[in-house]
Amino acid sequence: MSILIDADTTFIVQGITGREAVNLTRECLDYGAGAKVVGGVTPGRLGREVHGVPVFDTVAQAVAHHGAPIYGSVVTVPPAFTKDAVFEAIENGVKLIVIVTERIPRRDVAQMVELATLRGARIIGPNCLGIIVPNVIKMGGIGGPAKNAAQAYTPGPIGVISRSGGMTTEMSSTLSAAGLGQSTAVSIGGDAIIGSTYAELMPLFEADEQTQGIVIYTEPGGRMEAELARWVTENNSRLPIVAFMAGRFMDEMPGMSFGHAGTIVEGKEDTASEKIARLAQAGIAVAERIEDIPEMIRAKMSGPGAGSASGGAAGVGAS
């Protein structure tokens, strides 16, 4: 199985007539079994088609045309209009919203996440590449054109969660090359506030029988890793986790932002070294090199701690 999406997931693309959105739509239609992209929305473009997908002025029109609730939306509209687009999706019954757009004001993101929570919807991103279930479906630009995505992602037991879109593919490719496929890979976004954190996705992977281990990509900045460490400790997770921490050099450069909007060291808790210590305390092994990840997760999956609480298994394979 997978988390969040499967072969039957229906979704729309908001902002579908934009250059990147046109490409993204093609990629999703081509990948795996072919995504069910049931419509696109760009105000003023009713009646057009993008790769055969009908374009509407509003989400309500797309739902009416589809004749049934639409599960998801990929939002690619400019930052100033993203909040309105997401509100519109949520109010029209969309349950899963992947926000690709970068540089959305933090205040808008907070409001979107708040409304999603109130309405029982989930946001992935912003500033993310979306979700991929290898050989089945992708929702968003993750992995790029179908042929490129197929080269990097293979089906298997590993759940991947990453703050970097590109590194989701780099790590999955490394896992695939080592014979470890992925159950679902999620690019969660590089902003300071995002709709779904590691800890918020863990219960989904926990409930997914296919998933036997988790690999995460992390960076300095924010409290997400501390939250994950707490979740793992408190929930007696069956899933071993290996993390890769990039941006270690930033510990020496407080106040400067690198990589992503949320990647900045503003306090001691934000540093790579602090996060590594916190993750290790929770039994999460932290890799220094990406090529070490496959052996580390394999050791954890077959090790004495496998299948039970991951606490106490720290340092396995930490060569």
Distance of CA 161 to the CA centre of its chain: 6
Read out DSSP for 109-125? HHHHHHHHHHHT-EEE-
Does residue 152 touch other proteins according to CB under 8 A? Answer: yes
Does residue 77 touch other proteins according to CB under 8 A? Answer: no
Q: Return the residue of 135, 173, 233, 235 that touches other proteins, per CB under 8 A.
A: 173
Burial class (CB in 10 A: 0-12, 13-18, 19+), 135: middle
Does residue 258 touch other proteins according to CB under 8 A? Answer: yes
User: Does 260 qualify as catalytic in the annotation?
Assistant: yes
Does residue 185 touch other proteins according to CB under 8 A? Answer: no
Site for other proteins in 5-24 (CB under 8 A): 20, 23
- What are the strands of the beta sheet with 10-14, ordered from one edge? 49-50, 53-56, 36-41, 10-14, 72-75, 96-99, 122-124
Does residue 167 touch other proteins according to CB under 8 A? Answer: yes
Site for other proteins in 110-139 (CB under 8 A): 129
* Choice between 249 and 315, CB closer to other proteins: 249
Site for other proteins in 223-252 (CB under 8 A): 244, 246-252
Distance of CA 288 to the CA centre of its chain: 22
* Choice between 148 and 302, CB closer to other proteins: 148
Longest pairwise C-alpha distance within the chain: 60
Read out DSSP for 290-317? GGGHHHHHHHHHHSTTTTS--TT-TTTT
Does residue 290 touch other proteins according to CB under 8 A? Answer: yes
Does residue 295 touch other proteins according to CB under 8 A? Answer: no
* Choice between 117 and 249, CB closer to other proteins: 249
- First-to-final CA distance of the chain: 32
C-alpha dist (Å) from residue 292 to 108, 239, 280? 39, 18, 16
Which residues are at the interface with other proteins (CB under 8 A)? Answer: 20, 23, 129, 141-145, 148-149, 152, 162-167, 169-170, 173-174, 177, 190, 217, 219, 244, 246-256, 258-260, 263, 288-291
